[in-house]
Amino acid sequence: MDFSLSDERRMLKDTAERFLTDCYNISRRHQAVADERGFDPQIWEELADLGLPAALLPPDAGGFGGSGEDITILFEAFGQSLVVEPFLASVMLGAWSLHLAGGQDDLLADVLSGQVQLALAYAEPDGRYDLFHCATTFANGCLTGHKSVVMNAGAADKILVVGRHLGETSDKTGLGLYLIDPKAKGLQLRSYGTIDAGHAADIQLHDCPAICLCEDAADILQQVMANATLALCAEALGAMEYCKDATIDYLKTRKQFGKNLGSFQVLQHRMVDLVIEIEQVRSSIMLAAAHLSQDNLRRDLHVSAAKSLVGRVAKLVSEETIQMHGGIAMCWEYDVAHYAKRLIMIDHQLGDADHHLDRFVALSKQVV
């Protein structure tokens, strides 16, 4: 089987990696994180000019990509450079939801051009990882409820909200997708930083005016979460690759007892084990990407398999990277500490390893 990239995707990969290598280092990332929006608007504009947001959506949405392979190529590059710009929140969650709901082509075009930021508010304090848990209600053109950990909400020009117009709190039916203005009456937003230098917010809605985009959003949410989860897995893979390379370089140059650390057999064995685990992650992500456009059951089965493996290996890579580097890996100025934090937090976004393992087992029983 041929796993080589097409010429177009190779150009996309080279474009993203070259720009990030030249313009995006850990110091630039620290500056972006310090901005109240949580990212660098200039970098975001330049990335949009390169067409990277558009490469994550299909042609019928105004993009020129959107396949599993396109998503994994770009997010692996983002993970290698520890990019904080809101590709996950604004594009994978926001723009994909807007596209699948339909009817907002002009707004979608502005998002892909980098002029407008989106956020998707779906999670609630009592919902944990249950995608269909929703106590937020829609009635008389207004939303009332509480949404938590809404990524990019503080910088968003528009917020997409999952609300319920009928049914019980955990029903799959009765879920709608609604568009609100973050400055609208009846909305209270509390923004905060996350441990991996991201930005999120809790949102309180009290009869907040909203536009209904779709009254049956369950399938849309499942597709969006599958896409976004695959993107997270690819981002984790990029961060793992960076940690692996940084650790190998460190072992080759750091001396202890008159010898390079890399000459000690026990450390060689640990690095070999780490490389094998990372390659297993890569294979799992490639399989999930290949099934992203298939039926819901097989798509979700392979995505959950990849996310569960990524969560386990992300923790291992973080621990081994820090342990083999020693104390320097705990310094703020040294970049691997920030990669380790991001890897740990990726496990908890959109379902941790245990959640996706349970989901994989449940879905496996349905596969004929």
What is the CATH code for 118-216? 2.40.110.10
Give strand pairing partners of 118: 158
Looking at 1.10.20.10, 3.40.50.150, 3.40.50.10860, 1.10.540.10, the CATH number of the domain 7-112 comes to 1.10.540.10
pLDDT tens digit string along 306-330?
999 999 999 999 999 999 998 888 8
Q: Is the pLDDT of residue 357 over 70?
A: yes
Tokens 């396949």 found at: 67
Read off the pLDDT band of 1 (50, 70, 90).
Answer: low
Question: Please, are residues 307 and 351 in contact by the beta-carbon 8 Å criterion?
Answer: yes
Question: Which residues touch 223 (CB under 8 Å, ≥6 apart)?
Answer: 96, 100, 296
Dist CA 26 CA 237 (whole Å): 18
Read off the pLDDT band of 6 (50, 70, 90).
Answer: confident
Question: Please, are residues 352 and 129 in contact by the beta-carbon 8 Å criterion?
Answer: yes
pLDDT tens digit string along 326-346?
888 888 888 999 999 999 999
For 219-364, give the CATH class: mainly alpha
Dist CA 20 CA 235 (whole Å): 14
Q: Is the pLDDT of residue 155 over 60?
A: yes
pLDDT tens digit string along 58-74?
999 999 999 999 999 99
pLDDT tens digit string along 209-218?
999 999 999 9
Question: Position 134: which residue type?
Answer: C
pLDDT tens digit string along 118-145?
999 999 999 999 999 999 999 999 999 9
Give strand pairing partners of 142: 139, 209
Q: Averaged over 294-300, what is the pLDDT?
A: 94
pLDDT tens digit string along 87-98?
999 999 999 999
25-39, 70-84, 251-265 — which one is most confidently predicted on average?
A: 70-84
Extents of the domains making up the chain: 7-112, 118-216, 219-364
Classify the C-alpha dihedral 349-35-99-52 as positive or negative: negative
Q: Averaged over 111-123, what is the pLDDT?
A: 97
Average pLDDT over the chain reads 94
pLDDT tens digit string along 218-261?
999 999 999 999 999 999 999 999 999 999 999 998 877 778 88
Read off the pLDDT band of 299 (50, 70, 90).
Answer: very high
Q: In 3D, which of 204, 144, 141, 212 has the Cα closest to residue 176? A: 212
Q: Is the pLDDT of residue 8 over 60?
A: yes
| Percent of the chain with pLDDT strictly greater than 70 | 99
